[in-house]
Chain A
Amino acid sequence: MKLAYYPGCSLKGTSFEYEVSLLKILEVLNMEIKEIPDWNCCGASAAHSINHNLSVALPARNLAIAEKDGYESVLAPCAACSNRLKNADYELKNDDILKKKITDSLEMPYNAEMSINNMLEFLIGVVGKDKIKSMVKKPLSGIKVASYYGCLLVRPPKVMQFDDPENPVTMDELVALTGAEPVDYSFKTECCGAINSLSKPDVVMALTGNILYDIKKNGADLVVVACPLCHSNLDVRQREIERKYDEKLGLPVLFITELLGLSFGIDPKDLAIDGHMVAADRVLKKIKELTNQQ
């Protein structure tokens, strides 16, 4: 199956760790993905917030290019990108008037026959649990991991068609495959404040603080995410949250691809784990000690 890859802007910038670790684990899994040529920004939250047509047209250009190149499946690791691509695909499937308007503007046809996958769907559905399990060389037993899903992977359910919108488990299943212990907690799908990070930092810190302190209270060693924006809020703003609420967190936030990579025995440097703002040194040391005992 030909697999198209839509990296999106964050994976080429502030969340480069996500792309580095994704490409590394796919190399180990011996799977090939191809970047959609000359892809453009999906418009993210800004487009759907103030211009509905743009929020469909911008993702549609990428989908139409992938379709023209004969791809059957698109991987969009960024939760926001996968949300916007799926949303555009859904609207184009269900609204013929809009579809005509958009395809006329793009001057490209679009048949909406590809499957669009977020990172978790790709790992479970395309790579497969058995294949992932067979690659686990250094089980992370003894490490407690909280999976944070946020909003865009699961909502709105009628468009995302993925997992349970209130209590998703896919990422926890992947965590279990690595040998680590999934941690249950209350804020799995509560919003981190998302795109308002720059415009309403106080609101974002309150929301993200709730999530992080609940994770801490439930005894996790680290957090895994599958969204660059969640990662930015949980990782980049963590020091500030600690200062604001005067309580230490020290919770490393890893992408799910990085956690899988560690269990495959890949060097943390090759997974760009040192690119995060909250140092993961203590957890990495713990993992090293535990795996040496095995």
Chain B
Amino acid sequence: MKTVINEQNRRNFAAQVESMLHDKLAKCYQCGKCSAGCPVNFEMDYTPNQIIKMTELGMEDKVLSSKTIWLCVSCNTCSTRCPKGFEVTGIMDVLREIAEKKGIVSKVEKEVQMFHEVFLDNVKSNGRIFELELVGKYKLKTRHLFRDMFLAPKMLEKGKLKMHGEKIAGLNQIAKIFKDFE
């Protein structure tokens, strides 16, 4: 792997991550306990401890376009077990947020990213999640129209899929929250 990194860029990236994370990358001594217990490690391109080291080394492009940051399910097993108390789950949130703000779309895991975006759009327009609309919009966006459709008839029969969503009265407050922080 040939990666040439400008020292100033390396420092900037590491500092940006550390300030958003409220934690120090140097805490990690690469024991790999986080990666050993990670339930989705089998799907990742880089293990969580590799992601931490790569961030410290300023390998911004590789980290931000990795599968790992989107595959992480935030189960917090890693952070709970970390002998140094490093925010392993937290760094995944930070890296996803940086990727999202930079408009970097994960090539392989774009569906996870799209799901989060569609989810927040749904909160923005209703104040609450309207599940049927959420699933519909997600399917249109990913073009996986028929995946999971076989579940729908029985879910409808059981009353699990509500046909109407509710909008909250304080939608203007929700709009303000999104305006301030989006």
Contacts and interface: CB of A to CB of B under 8 A. Distances in A.
B39 A12 contact: no
A44 B117 CA distance: 12
Interface stretch (B10-18, B26-34, B93-101): B93-101
Nearest to A151: B75
A48 interface: yes
A196 interface: yes
A58 B177 contact: yes
B73 A52 contact: no
Contact of B169 (A14, A38, A193, A274): A38
B126 to A, nearest CB: 8
Given A151-B77, A156-B89, A276 B158 contact: yes
B75 A194 contact: yes
Contacts of A276: 158
Interface stretch (B48-56, B58-66, B148-156): B148-156
Contacts of B160: 13-16, 236, 275
Nearest to A53: B181
Given A40-B127, A41-B123, A54-B182, A106 B177 contact: yes
A45 interface: yes
A199 interface: yes
B151 to A, nearest CB: 6
A39 interface: yes
A163 B175 CA distance: 37
A46 interface: yes
A112 B115 CA distance: 31
Q: Chain B: interface secondary structure? A: helix
B129 A13 contact: yes
Interface stretch (A122-130, A168-176, A200-208, A260-268): A200-208
A16 B113 CA distance: 27
A157 interface: yes
Nearest to A15: B160
Interface residues of B, number: 58
A165 interface: yes
A45 B74 contact: yes
A191 B39 contact: yes
Contact of A43 (B40, B73, B120): B120
A40 B35 CA distance: 35
A203 B71 contact: yes
B110 to A, nearest CB: 9
A40 B123 contact: yes
The 10 closest A-B pairs by CB, nearest first: A155-B76, A46-B119, A191-B75, A9-B129, A53-B181, A151-B75, A46-B116, A105-B180, A199-B111, A50-B100
Interface of B: 20, 39-40, 43, 71, 73-77, 79-80, 89, 93-94, 96-97, 100, 111-117, 119-120, 122-123, 127-129, 131, 135, 138, 142, 147-148, 151, 154-155, 158-162, 166, 168-170, 173-174, 176-178, 180-182
Given A50-B117, A53-B180, A61-B174, 7 more contacts: A16-B159, A40-B174, A58-B174, A58-B177, A155-B79, A156-B80, A196-B112
